[in-house]
Structure 1
Amino acid sequence: MHPTSFVASSLDNRSSAPPVPPPKQSSVSWLSAERASSTYIADRFGIRLRTLRKASGMTQLEMSIEFGIDRSFISDVERGKKAISLPLLEVIAIGFGLTMSDLLADI
């Protein structure tokens, strides 16, 4: 047998591998395509935080002092530049007198 015919027959055997299944559909089907493509959650939460802060008549500095959160971090969160942890979400909810559900409503 010629060496090249051995390689060719070896390559032909690869085609008997089972086909790769298609990727599964996303499990976040409840999230509308419009909302998912328009903004990221960090951006939407930042808008919500700024709205709540301003409605309470607070500056970022006042919120920083009252809630114990660095002012520059508040600014970054409001601009969607930083993500926020669950413990800080709880601090913000308590500070505004809201439940976590109310804080995150419509985000």
Structure 2
Amino acid sequence: MDVRQRLSANLRRLRSEHGWSQEDYADRAGIHRTYVSDLERGARNPTIMMVEKLAVPFALTASDLIA
């Protein structure tokens, strides 16, 4: 599994565990809902700065999010 696939799987899993819709999570992360959908499908290759932003709502570090 490559890093983009791990990120996608982790985002879906964590978002589901928190009971958040894609829109809820997007609001918390300060990004657009369609971007969340693209990330979860592996259709986007986010920058490391974006990975850091994606980790904040889960109270994780960027490295934890992609581990």
Alignment TM class, shorter chain as reference:
0.7 to 0.9
Question: If you compute each CA radius of gyration, which structure gives the higher value, 1 or 2?
Answer: 1
Note the C-alpha offset of 1:66: 1.5
Q: Is the 8 A contact 1:64 1:71 kept in 2?
A: yes
Which is helix-richer, 1 or 2? Answer: 2
Amino acid at match of 2:17: A
Pair 1:70-2:9 in alignment: no
Residue in 1 that maps onto 2:55: 93
- Calculate the TM-score normalised by the size of structure 1: 0.57
Q: Which runs of 4+ in 1 moved over 3 A?
A: none
Percent of counterpart pairs with the same letter?
A: 36
Structure 2 distance, partners of 1:50, 1:72, is 14
- Structure 1 gaps of 5+ residues are 1-38
Distance in 2, Cα, partners of 1:99 & 1:45:
12
1:54 corresponds, among 2, 16, 41, to 16
Q: Which residue of 1 aligns with 2:66?
A: 104
Gaps of 5+ in 2: none
